[in-house]
A and B are shown apart, each in its own frame.
Chain A
Amino acid sequence: MTVDLPFGTVPPVLLFLLGGLLIAVTPNAFLRRLILVVVPVYGLVQLFALPMGSSLEFDFFGETLTLLRVDKTSIIFATIFHLAAVLAAVYGWANLDRMQQSVALLYPGSAIGAVFAGDLITLFVFWEMAAVTSVFLILAGSTVRASKAAIRYLVIQVGSGVLLLFGAILYFQETGSIAFEKMELGSIATIAIFLAFGIKSAFPLLHNWLQDSYPESTITGTLILSIFTTKMAVYALFRGFPGEQLLIWIGAVMTCFPVFFAVIENDLRRVLCYSLNNQVGFMVVGIGIGTPLALNGTASYVFCNIIFEGLLFMSMGAVLLRTGTVKGSELGGLYKTMPLTTFYCIIGAASISAFPLFAGFVSKGMIIDGLAKEHMLIPWLMLVFAAAGVFHHSGIKIPYFAFFAHDSGRRVKDAPLSMQIAMALSAILCVAIGTFPDPLYALLPYPVDYVPYTAPHVLHQLQLLLFSALAFTLLTISGIYPPELRSTNLDFDWFYRKPGAALVRGVVTGIAAINGAMTNFVGRRIEGALRSLYALHGPEGRLARTWPSGFMAMWIAILLTLALLVNYL
């Protein structure tokens, strides 16, 4: 099948970057909105006309940079990135300012650039560009908190980028190649690259930037942020470290620990950030297993997660828009006046919980099955627990505390039309993929030999979910369930935001003090030397008049130098 495109195929990165710049200079608001939607739609259509293989190659520092490597793996990630950009553009149709509209193309464009990068240097370039562009979405929160969080975010993101560059250079020294292919952990180079990927995919202990910064963004900003950076990192791990056993354990821990924080977190967008952290854990486990089944599982889970996690973020964004808050302690009872948003949120919740007939079910199962087939009992138990935990915080807590629970008395309008369209499209995709997974399976990197709808799979999943719901119900009725409280919960970031920050302040003050003392010391010496010179050679006032004349200057200079040398010795 060939498609005739009005502009032919434009390199996807270029398309997005030019679109973003065009938005920046377009004065008309409607035109900007149109560009924001049209660019990713066009990109999506032309994606399937891109020639397979490597192209757009440039010589650089004696090596070859490959800007466009098209294969099944890059295509599926690029497809969902394009699709997500379209959905985000529709969702943000009416509530993005010009800067955010521009970033809403530049940032996805950078992530897409990373997905098509054929070498580590190109990857580095887009890796950093994603960091730099995305920070503006956090800043757009326009609060003092947001701009502080933005600095912390960027420090960590740039740190990840330079670590990648460090690794890439050493990797080149080791292997003589900068091609971005499967690597083996073991050398400093690969460990650095691995950590760089780990930071952006929010490995345990490297994760706090995510929960710290994303909730400080705007309504659509948080949605866009939640999509790209972490999945770009998942792509990089997918390409670089498939089958790395360590990832199974890292991923398994990653699925479990955020669940605990999610239960006690009050800010519902931050709950979703913990949820996002946990979801990426599933993807990381799939990469660690490394079998075709598990890798397909990861790819399909990335695809589905972006849609349903996005849908949840969209619904919370709508709540924030209408009520001005997303704190669980302030909400409740919104289903009465926001029935459609409630409905879409429940679809998203059902999908993320992997109810049969929804998108999570046909994708997550591949990862958990992949683990079972390798007979890894403990990670498997952790993942099954985490699956129940996901249902608990994203499936029940989010819709329950926002839309049901005790009635907050807020009577607000339902979401505006553009948001409803984006949510409806996402919800349709969730159900469509859940019921007819075959088109998605056809996109996957490896041939699919997996049947999601078997009696035991459906039954086990229903058991897991219904009994979890039962536990929630009984705990709530008995009053054991912890109430939503206004609070900050300390996480690992406490170590660098409190004692770490104090230590840095101490060092900086010390060094500055030493520098200041030395400046005064030398300053006085020079003052003294000059004063004795003036005493010999005339009144203070003469100086300004005589300086421009070069000879005078040279003469004094030589005397000055002698005086100084005497002083120093």
Chain B
Amino acid sequence: MSEHGPKDDVKGIFDNPRNVNLLKYSLYASCLLVAIADFFVDGHPYFDIEKFPVFYGLYGGIMCAALVIAAKWMRIIVMRDEDYYDR
């Protein structure tokens, strides 16, 4: 497997930190944009909770963070060696 180990022959766009940062900041900017837009679009809400400002964004963001942290804790209980069932 001579292909293993980083080689410098192939440069990808994300090897350049500038591009990574560009992507990062454009994400931040889009988040800000859609958050602001929330105040200009009438949402036809079905539930009261939807009337909360930037509900979808906050709910999505917070729940995702919670998901990752919960899953991390879950590893304490459920994680075993790769060959657990084969032994």
Give bound CA distance, A214 to B52, whole Å.
42
Contact A412 B3 (CB under 8 A): yes
Q: Are B71 and A463 in contact (CB under 8 A)?
A: no
A-B contact pairs, 12 of them (CB 8 A): A261-B74, A264-B72, A373-B46, A388-B63, A456-B44, A470-B31, A471-B60, A472-B64, A481-B68, A487-B79, A490-B79, A490-B80
- Choose the segment among A55-63, A110-118, A225-233, A403-411 that binds chain B (4+ C-beta atoms closer than 8 Å): A403-411
- Shortest beta-carbon distance from B6 to chain A in Å: 4
CB-based contact B60/A388 at 8 Å: yes
* A456 lies within 8 A of B42 (CB): yes
Out of B3, B24, B43, B47, which one reaches A460, CB within 8 Å?
B43
Return chain A residues, CB-CB under 8 Å to B72: 264, 480, 482
Minimum CB–CB distance from B55 to chain A (whole Å) comes to: 8
Closest chain-B Cβ to A402's Cβ sits at a distance in Å of 14
Residues of B within 8 A of A336 (CB): 10-12
Does any Cβ of B come within 8 Å of A468's Cβ?
A: yes
Q: How many A-B residue pairs have CB under 8 A?
A: 165
The answer to whether A464 touches B78 (Cβ under 8 A) is no
What are the residues of chain A within 8 A of B68 when measuring CB–CB?
263, 392, 471-472, 475, 480-482
Stretch at the interface among A18-26, A377-385, A438-446: A377-385
Residue from B5, B27, B70, B81 within 8 A of A260 (CB atoms): B70
Closest to A263 in B: B71
- A487: which of B35, B56, B82 is its contact (CB, 8 Å)? B82
Counting CB contacts under 8 A, is A5 at the interface? Answer: no
- CB of B62, distance to nearest CB on chain A (Å): 8
B7 at the interface (CB under 8 A from A): yes
Bits for A432-469, please: 1 = Cβ < 8 Å to B, else 0.
00000000000000000000000110011111111111
Beyond A145-B86, A388-B60, A456-B41, whether A466 also contacts B46 by CB under 8 A is no
Q: 9 other contacts beyond A263-B68, A380-B47, with CB at 8 A cut-off?
A: A264-B72, A392-B68, A409-B3, A411-B9, A463-B57, A465-B60, A473-B27, A480-B72, A485-B79
A486 within 8 A of B: yes
Query: Chain A nearest CB: distance from B31 CB in Å?
Result: 5
Residues of chain B within 8 A (CB-CB) of A377 are 47, 49
Closest to A404 in B: B14
A505 within 8 A of B: no
Q: How far is the CA of A8 from the CA of B71 in the complex (A)?
A: 55
Chain B's interface size range is 35 or more
A475-B70 Cα distance, complex, nearest whole Å: 13
The answer to whether A463 and B34 have CB atoms under 8 Å apart is yes
B24 touches A410 (CB 8 A): no
- Say whether A251 faces chain B, with CB atoms less than 8 Å apart: no
Indicate if the CB atoms of B34 and A459 lie closer than 8 Å. yes
Q: Are A409 and B7 in contact (CB under 8 A)?
A: yes
Instruction: Convert A548-567 into 0s and 1s, putting 1 for each residue whose CB lies closer than 8 angstroms to a CB of B.
Output: 00000000000000000000
Task: With CB as the reference atom, state the residue of chain A lying closest to B43.
Answer: A456
Q: How far is the CA of A460 from the CA of B49 in the complex (A)?
A: 13
Instruction: Say yes or no for B18: interface residue by CB 8 A criterion.
Output: no
Chain B min CB distance to A355 (Å):
12
Q: Interface centre among B4, B5, B56, B72, by most A CB within 10 Å?
A: B56
Question: How far, in angstroms, from A487 to B71 measured CA to CA in the complex?
Answer: 14
**B3 CB to closest chain A CB, in angstroms?**
5
Instruction: Give complex CA distance A381, B62 in Å.
Output: 13
**Chain B residue at smallest Cβ distance from A372:** B46
| A488 is an interface residue with CB less than 8 A from chain B | yes
Bound CA–CA A408/B4 (angstroms): 7
A259 and B74 alpha carbons, distance in the complex (Å): 12
How long is the Cα–Cα vector from A526 to B81 in the complex, in angstroms? 53
Contact partner of B81 among A335, A464, A487, A497, CB < 8 A? A487
- A411 & B31 in contact (Cβ 8 Å cutoff): no
Most chain B C-beta atoms within 10 Å of own C-beta, residue among A408, A409, A461: A409
Most buried by A among B37, B46, B64, B86: B64
Chain A: minimal CB distance from B12 (Å): 4
Give the complex CA separation of A145 and B83 in angstroms: 10
Closest A residue to B48 using CB positions: A377
CB atoms of A375 and B46 under 8 A apart: yes
Is the Cβ of A264 less than 8 Å from the Cβ of B74?
yes
User: Of residues 7 to 41 in B, which have CB atoms within 8 Å of A's CB atoms?
Assistant: 7, 9-12, 14-15, 24, 27-28, 30-31, 34-35, 37-38, 41
| Chain B residues with CB below 8 A from A389, complex form | 63-64, 67
Q: Identify A385's interface contact among B7, B14, B63, CB under 8 A.
A: B63
